[in-house]
Amino acid sequence: MALTNLKYFLKEGIHSFFRNWTMSLASCVIVTACLLTFGVYLALSTNINNILFSSQNSFENNFYINSETSLNRAREIGIQIEKIPNVANVTLLDKKDELDKMNGQTVGITEDDIPHRYCVQFKNADLAPETTTEIMKISEIYSHLNGFEYIQYHKKHLWTELENIIKSIDARKFRTKVSKEKTMLGDLLYSPIELIIHSKSC
């Protein structure tokens, strides 16, 4: 019975389509246009949402390294940056790359005058301030008259002890000095005296 009804409906439908072909054709065109418009709108809205989501959850920032820093040391710093949790991608633009970009526009500038630069992309833009702070903690070591090398070779235990003392101090606890300067009146500053006393007691 169901198969007979299906054949009847198909037969009547085809017959009606050709009997009123102008209205049937118009209906098909309208339905096709509606589906096409809806499809284009859906595709555009999906792409726009993806772009907005990507822009909100990704952030890129540039970090410059001292011009005196060697290329090998700059690469070591890049490895340290990559280990920070919110970092998605790290790209090193060394002095030569930066100088080539200038393309002779600045006269008298050499590679020694240009710092290395890292282009760092973050995974989450909301965590950009915290990630930037972590990156800025990476410091370069300046060894005056090879003092660092001397301590490492002759007094290594002292250097280890000094590092441990510094790591054990929570500097935030020593912002107890109330500023009396006009531009910083009432602000809490680090108290050098308390920091020194605490470091001696460690």
The answer to which of 2-6, 16-20, 27-31, 122-126 has the lowest mean pLDDT is 2-6
What does DSSP assign to residue 181? S
Instruction: Determine the distance from the C-alpha atom of residue 189 to the mean position of all C-alpha atoms in its chain, rounded to a whole number.
Output: 30
Judge contact between 140 and 66, C-beta under 8 A. yes
Q: What is the mean pLDDT of residues 35-44?
A: 87
Q: Please say if the pLDDT value at position 10 is more than 80.
A: no
The answer to which of 1-5, 174-178, 181-185 has the lowest mean pLDDT is 1-5
> CA angle at residue 185 from 182 to 186, to 5 degrees?
170
Q: Is the dihedral of CA 148, 149, 155, 157 positive or negative?
A: positive
Name all domains of the chain by residue range, CATH numbers in brackets: 2-55 (no CATH), 57-140 (3.30.70.3040), 146-202 (no CATH)
The answer to which of 97-101, 129-133, 166-170 has the lowest mean pLDDT is 97-101
Task: Choose between 166 and 40: higher pLDDT.
Answer: 40
Token duo for residue 21:
């072909």
- Residue 106, φ and ψ in degrees, nearest 5: -110, 120
- Measured CA to CA, the distance from residue 62 to residue 120 in angstroms comes to 6
Residues in the chain: 202
3 state SS for 35-56: HHHHHHHHHHHHHHHHHHHHHH
Q: What is the mean pLDDT of residues 131-159?
A: 73
Q: Please say if the pLDDT value at position 138 is more than 70.
A: yes
- Residue 61, φ and ψ in degrees, nearest 5: -145, 155
The torsion of the CA quartet 87, 125, 94, 139, rounded to 10 degrees, works out to -70
The H or E element that residue 157 is part of is helix 156-168
